[in-house]
Amino acid sequence: MTDTATNPITSGDATSTGDATRSSLETMPLGRAINAGLRKAMADDPRVLLMGEDIGTLGGVFRVTEGLQAEFGANRVIDTPLAESGIVGTAIGLAMGGFRPVVEIQFDGFIYPGFDQITSQLAKMTARHEGSLQMPVVIRVPYGGHIGAVEHHQESPEAYFAHTAGLRVVSPSTPHDAYWMIQEAIRSNDPVMFFEPKSRYWPKGEVDLADPHAPLHASRVVRTGTEVTLLGHGAMVSTLLQAAEIAAGEGISAEVVDLRSLSPVDYGPILESVRKTGRLVVAQEAPGFVSVGSEIAATVAEKAFYSLEAPVLRVSGFDTPFPPAKLETLYLPDADRVLEAVDRALAY
């Protein structure tokens, strides 16, 4: 990733609404919202420290941690060697010692050298000690496509970790959720995989600094509708909202649900929506085979079978390695592919 002199995450100041009755509201990009959430967590708890490649002096490739080392010092915002297994292993040791480390994996495709530490040690440590040893470790993972990057810099590996017992897995889609969810993840006594949709780092949104609106592991309806439910997480939520808007222009009422938590999954709002609409389209950037979308489709078919008017349909990336940047628009689901699935669901 080529470094730039300025970055929309940090160069654009948050702006208050100016309304005295809404003074808790600020507008900021998702990346800066994570930065603000990390700052708040570090100010509130001296046990919180950050670790990762180039996160200190540089502020991270995406500048998400910019300014934090200057504010909290190099002992709490630590530039590590390029060694993901060592970074995660060190975080596990720090958690054993009473700290609450937050690890950044610089890009999604770089997580695999640390995979054994995460799945064999971090995820199992508490169970291994029959609950007597907590593992309050957060692993931040920028993931997904839409940034035109090279191999190993645009992947969606979230299913590996959602499948792993002992890990919590979440992904915010808005600046508001990013600000609150990173703080809630840090407060968790269980390890949390925090997947950040890197293509959403720059678009701005409103953040309510006084009210999280929903707990860490809650799914949430973000657009109401009556004929079909569209479900996704991370960057896919904005695509689903775009598809729902287009559908509305064609006389189709689509409800959009933001999954937010991939493990555990909050099925309450999902099932309630499906029982109302009778149809479900699950969308994700990741490949479809043995995926988060597959699990949700199976569970909804099991628990809401008699409410379904059509099979649960899935829209996903293809079951191939992520392609070169020039082909990413062909690989990643867009509003047209979602709407094609909506048409098929409504045809039953």
Active site amino acids:
153
226/255 Cα distance (integer angstroms): 7
Amino acid symbol at 160 = Y
Q: Which residue has the tokens 């085979």?
A: 289
43/212 Cα distance (integer angstroms): 18
The DSSP-derived string for 250-312 is TT--EEEEE--EEES--HHHHHHHHHHHS-EEEEEEEESTTSHHHHHHHHHHHHSGGG-SS--
94/227 Cα distance (integer angstroms): 50
253/225 Cα distance (integer angstroms): 5
Quick check: 170 and 195 in contact, CB under 8 A? yes
Query: Edge-to-edge strands of the sheet including 25-29?
Result: 15-16, 25-29, 204-208
